[in-house]
Amino acid sequence: MAPVPAPISWPYHRRVPRTLFPDAVAVRWSTGDVPGKLHPREQELIRSAVPSRVAEFRTGRTLARECLAEFMGPAAADAVIERHPDRSPAWPKGYCGSITHCTGLRIAVVARRGDVSALGVDAEPAVELPPEAVPELLTTEECRLLAERGVPDVLGFSAKESLYKLWTGMGGGWLGFFEARIANVDGRALKVEVTSNTRPCGVPPVIDIGYRISGGHVVTGAWL
Per-residue pLDDT tens digits for 113-166: 999 999 999 999 999 999 999 999 999 999 999 999 999 999 999 999 999 999
Q: Which pLDDT score is estimated for 9?
A: 35
Q: Which pLDDT score is estimated for 174?
A: 87
CATH of 17-117, one of 3.30.930.10, 3.90.470.20, 3.30.300.90, 3.50.50.60: 3.90.470.20
Q: Kindly indicate the confidence band of residue 200, based on its pLDDT and cuts at 50, 70 and 90.
A: confident
Q: Kindly indicate the confidence band of residue 50, based on its pLDDT and cuts at 50, 70 and 90.
A: very high
Residues of each annotated binding site:
53, 61, 100-101, 122-124, 161, 165, 175
pLDDT at 8 over 80: no
Per-residue pLDDT tens digits for 11-25: 334 577 889 999 999
- Determine the average pLDDT of the residues in 57-84: 96
- Determine the average pLDDT of the residues in 71-86: 95
Q: Which pLDDT score is estimated for 5?
A: 38
pTM, to two decimals: 0.91
Q: Kindly indicate the confidence band of residue 167, based on its pLDDT and cuts at 50, 70 and 90.
A: very high
Q: Which pLDDT score is estimated for 3?
A: 42
Nearest-angstrom CA–CA distance, 144 and 142:
5
3-state secondary structure string, the chain?
Answer: CCCCCCCCCCCCCCCCHHHHCCCCCEEEEECCCCCCCCCHHHHHHCCCCCHHHHHHHHHHHHHHHHHHHHHHHHHHHHCCCEECCCCCEECCCCEEEEEEEECCEEEEEEEECCCCCCEEEEEEECCCCCCCCHHHHCCHHHHHHHHHHCCCCHHHHHHHHHHHHHHHHCCCCCCCHHHEEEEEECCCEEEEEECCCCCCCCCCCEEEEEEEEECCEEEEEEEC
| Contact predicate 136/157, CB 8 Å | no
Residues of each annotated binding site for CoA:
53, 61, 100-101, 122, 161, 165, 175
- Determine the average pLDDT of the residues in 47-74: 95
Nearest-angstrom CA–CA distance, 171 and 137:
23
Spacing of C-alpha 75 from chain mean position = 24
* 176-223-100-147 Cα dihedral, nearest 10 degrees: 60
Q: Which pLDDT score is estimated for 44?
A: 95
pLDDT at 7 over 80: no
Residues in contact with 76: Cβ distance below 8 Å, sequence separation at least 6, in sequence order: 1, 65, 66, 68, 69
| Contact predicate 123/101, CB 8 Å | yes
Residue in 135, 132, 137, 112 with CA at minimum distance from that of residue 122: 137
Nearest-angstrom CA–CA distance, 26 and 211:
17
| Contact predicate 170/117, CB 8 Å | yes
- Determine the average pLDDT of the residues in 52-76: 96
- Domain range annotation of the chain: 17-117, 123-223
Residue in 21, 101, 17 with CA at minimum distance from that of residue 62: 101
- Determine the average pLDDT of the residues in 75-90: 95
Q: Kindly indicate the confidence band of residue 82, based on its pLDDT and cuts at 50, 70 and 90.
A: very high
- Apex 33 CA angle, 28 and 36, nearest 5: 80
Residues of each annotated binding site for Mg(2+):
122-124
Percent of the chain with pLDDT over 90: 84
